[in-house]
Structure 1
Amino acid sequence: MSDTTSRALALLNLLQTHRHWPGTELASRLGVTERTVRRDVDRLRELGYRVESSPGAAGGYRLEAGSAVPPLLLTDDEAVTMAIGLRVAATQQLVGGPEVTLTALAKLEQVLPQALRRRVNALAASVQPPRIGDGPVVSPVVLGEIALATRDTERLRLRYIDAEGVESIRRVEPHALAPSGRKWFLLCWDLDREDWRTFRVDRIESVEHTRVLFPRREITDAEIEERVLIASSWSPQKVEGDAVMELSLAEMQDRFGPWSQGATAEGDTHTRWPIGGSDWREAMYAFLWIPEGVEYAMTFPDQDRAELREAVERLLRAIDRPTPVARGERRP
């Protein structure tokens, strides 16, 4: 393989891994001049790859959908089949890692011509694969667009409908897509709230690309996992209640961190914190996290309150009873 061919393939790989590249950055990565980059871009265009260029200090190159699937790779039918398969895998979580599925989906959909994209959308809408459980339906189109923007660190405008049915436009910097249970969540920096927010992807009605790039903010994988876990725990639960604590909202937020989500002030000295679970045992677990020494009142469904009272009274009796003889020992 000639140096020219190898360099063109290296350039193509770079264009596929990011949505926009400044010409100076490409030249630096490839170890060539910007003039050579321009010649290699022309070679890719001759092969059927649509590489758009923009002039100026902020200009550069980006790989766009062309008039046909780029050579090497796939026939039209193969591309459509693969795109549908990746969409199903992403929404059903059938392969061993959502990141791999979304990366592959983003790369393929980035270069699909509009005619093939329409075929994919039409077929995906008509194909109803067996669903895992009864989770909400996630739009594969929305999922794919968010995957692209997350990979490329591109700001988005989202049309979002919350749990109460209220619609809003959110300007966000997407940082991670993650599944939890049978739902997909987008962790992003909300530009209007100036804070992290986690949105359910099935509630995102549409995605608008801004072509404005952003520097990634520092956040660890552990923090992402925790925030997604918190967001998934606020889905409607079978058993729901409240704890009204003798803590101001600011104190409560300081002690609970991200887990203070949903808390509201009750005057200057108390805070209402919603809790819930699939049954009264899960809901009770939340009360155990209220800091030592903090008094609180609770709301709880009457039937579940009775079961909770019986379990707590039995636990108190067990604490007061003599400690059982250890296994293998005999009483004196």
Structure 2
Amino acid sequence: MAVDPYLTEETSPTSRALMALELIHDRPGVSGEALARRLGVSTRAARRYVGILREAGIPVESTSGRYGGYRVGRGFRVPPLMFSTEQALALVMAAVRGRHAVGGTGAVDDALDKIVRVLPAAVVGPVEALRQVRSPRDEPGGPDPAVASRLAQAAQDGVRVRLTYRTHPERPAREMDVDPWGVALRHDRWYLLGWSHTAEATRVLRLDRVEALADTEHRFEPPAGLEVADAVDEHLSEGWGEQVSVVVDAPPGLVACWLPRHLGRREPIDEGARTRVVASTENPDWYARQLARLEAPYVVEGPQSLKDACRRLGELVVRAAGPP
């Protein structure tokens, strides 16, 4: 363990003692030498901080020998939110990155306020600097956290739910009974994969369009071997207007390195020597640009609109290169 970068010569003995408690709690059996290195002090000084904890009534136990070390005794409850510097900064970065994926930023910022209030003074500055980072997508647009958690729990428990769902912002909401197979986060958007008893079909629903939900008395078993994230990606590649078929002169495993799953389903052909990518799109020009990621020859079998888009893109690239 390296010395905590926010420890300075001015750090008070109380702060070091609290950090010692955090380290002992997080790493039961930590040796005196490792504790001293992390605190940036001698082994003797580390023992002194352990003594301060014991004088405060905290049952820090120690065992000697090769595999000995310090640990907090049974029955003691460590105060909440005992974060190391690295943990605090990582948590804030994750919260800032995902702020726009939550319905409303108030809850995220309130949680960050609580974290900041319990951090050492030396860490508050870097944390506050991270909080000021903004993204063009910071406007609220994600689902209600309570909705997301309830659906994730229903999926774990195998409980059918009744949703009030809006398929489009300008269309009225409707009720539907769904077996929630799982929740997935894809491209900064939350989705529910499940079986709709209303449509009698598999559906991928956006959580930010769920206006209400309630558990039902019905139970279900999800399909055997289901990979929720993969199924969501495949579903997102379908149902978007024109059907796409592209043959790539490379095996499926290699095509997967160039085209993510949500851009199409990969089907092996010619005994796996080549791949057919099957998808759909409402924007052929956009899809043509995605196909340009391929580092092997490919042929667009359809639709004609995608062939035309690839031709336009190719002409644009050739003109950009100038005369031969």
TM-score (norm 1): 0.39
* TM-score normalised according to structure 2 size: 0.40
